[in-house]
Amino acid sequence: MSIVTLAEPRAAAAAPQGIRTTYRDAVREAVRSAMRSDPRVFLMGEDVGKYGGTYAVSRGLLEEFGPERIRDTPLSESAFVGLGIGAALGGLRPIVEIMTVNFSLLALDQIMNTAATLLHMSGGQFNVPLVIRMATGAGRQLAAQHSHSLEGWYAHIPGIRILAPATLEDARGMLPSALADPDPVLIFEHALLYNLEGELDAGAGAVPIDRAAIRREGHDVTLVTYGGTLGITMTAAGQLAEAGVSAEVIDLRVLRPLDTGAILDSVRKTHRAVVIDEGWRSGSLSAEVSARIMEGAFYDLDAPVARVCSAEVPMPYPRHLEQYALPRAEVIVETVQRMVNPHAA
């Protein structure tokens, strides 16, 4: 795995009693502590046990909890996601790990047609307390079948909650909150974030999963992003500051239901917005955010909402093409510059 350094938004504000950790370890700690405190919780997925997890998130958990609660499954995405639904109905609190979002398409039927519909279809009788975690995103030269960012698609579906932890606090804290939710929750972990290092409060635990977070305050432009693109967005905000432009960065954190209020409040203050989304532009989450700004803060805008998304191509393999296809800090900076300074050459 290539290492791409990402700015850790909270590093500067870390508490003195913080411990040095990684995003990967924070997720593992979240799983471990949930399993220790609740016997109903178990982890199931491809290679979560003996292999230790494709991204090593579950390494060591099989030894601690045994094969009944750390369940290796065959390559049957639809079946093991569906088993998770059934097990949740049967009183357990399954954490289903899908290796990556790319393979989640084989379980889309279960997620969309069963997990998201059962409560409604049964007139409120059967809620599904299921948590599904999966890796998402590009950036490791894995080419066209292993680089998708489809969390925006999932955010289209009523009946499920969509989370995108972008910080160590959220990597550690979103899982326990998701497990406490009576309904299905999908957690998208950008694969490039697993190596993210920083300080995490020793007592870190559950975090709210119903609102966005302001990762940097500013007054000239609002940069709305989430997950894997928070790092480049923070970098861009830093560069903009050097150029005298004050950018506010909103980390959506929760992709469904969207915290529209947080977005609109910020835009009403800055009067400009750029949405940064690793998904493709057409029919994307960035389109949804943009539409909501248009619906709710049109008259507060000094410029049309802009978007920085992935190029609309299946992801190419060569590094230079892949990097060019993905949202980049420099493109965010240029986009903002054009916005605040429309008449510059």
Partner 1 sequence: MSPTANGVALLRAMIRIRRFEERCAELYQEEKIRGFLHLYIGEEAIAVGVMQSLTPEDAIVATYREHGHALARGIDMNRVMAEMYGKATGTSGGRGGSMHLFDAKTRFFGGNAIVGGHLPLAAGLALADRMQGRGVVTACFFGDGAVAEGEFHETLNLAALWQLPVLFCCENNRYAMGTALERAQSETELALKAASYRIPAWPVDGMDVVAVEGAARRATGAIRAGEGPHFIEFRTYRFRAHSMFDPDLYRSKGEVETWRRRDPITLLTDRLRGEGAVDDAALEGIEREVAAEIDAAAAFAESSEWEPVETLARHVTSEAPS
Contact (CB, 8 A) for 134 and 177: no
Half-sphere exposure of 196 (CA within 13 A, CB side): 30
Half-sphere exposure of 14 (CA within 13 A, CB side): 20
DSSP H helix total and E strand total for the chain: 13, 14
Per rule CB under 8 A, is residue 208 in the interface with partner 1? no
Contact (CB, 8 A) for 273 and 305: yes
Q: One symbol per residue from 158 to 197: x for binding partner 1 (CB under 8 A), - otherwise; what is it?
A: xx-x--------------------xx--------------
Closer to partner 1 by Cβ: residue 129 or 231: 129
Backbone φ and ψ for 76, nearest 5 degrees, come out as -140, 70
Contact (CB, 8 A) for 137 and 147: yes
What is d(CA 302, CA 267) in angstroms, rounded to the nearest whole number? 10
Is position 148 annotated as part of the catalytic site?
Answer: no
Which positions from 23 through 62 interact with partner 1, judged by CB under 8 A?
Answer: 42
Closer to partner 1 by Cβ: residue 181 or 201: 181
Residues in the interface with partner 1 (CB under 8 A) total: 40
Per rule CB under 8 A, is residue 87 in the interface with partner 1? yes
Helix (H, G, I), strand (E, B) or coil at 55: coil
Per rule CB under 8 A, is residue 20 in the interface with partner 1? no
Closer to partner 1 by Cβ: residue 6 or 155: 155
Per rule CB under 8 A, is residue 337 in the interface with partner 1? no
Backbone φ and ψ for 181, nearest 5 degrees, come out as -75, 135
Helix (H, G, I), strand (E, B) or coil at 187: strand
Of 4, 33, 47, 86, which one interacts with partner 1 (CB under 8 A)? 86
Identity at 139, one-letter amino acid code: G
Per rule CB under 8 A, is residue 296 in the interface with partner 1? no
CB of 162 to partner 1, least distance (A): 12
Tallying the residues shown for the chain, one arrives at 345
Of 4, 56, 79, 206, which one interacts with partner 1 (CB under 8 A)? 79
Stretch that binds partner 1, among 137-145, 153-161, 274-282, 330-338 (CB under 8 A): 153-161
Backbone φ and ψ for 173, nearest 5 degrees, come out as -100, -15
Per rule CB under 8 A, is residue 73 in the interface with partner 1? yes
Per rule CB under 8 A, is residue 259 in the interface with partner 1? no
Write down the catalytic residue from 77, 97, 288, 322: 77
Per rule CB under 8 A, is residue 206 in the interface with partner 1? no
* β-bridge mates for residue 214, sequence order: 250
Residues 6+ apart with CB under 8 A from 194: 22, 23, 24, 27, 55, 56, 57, 135
Write down the catalytic residue from 8, 97, 146, 151: 146
Is position 120 annotated as part of the catalytic site?
Answer: no
Which positions from 90 through 149 interact with partner 1, judged by CB under 8 A?
Answer: 90-92, 94, 109-110, 113-114, 118-127
Which residues form the catalytic set? 77, 146
Contact residues for partner 1, defined by CB under 8 A: 42, 68, 73-74, 76, 78-92, 94, 109-110, 113-114, 118-127, 158-159, 161, 182-183
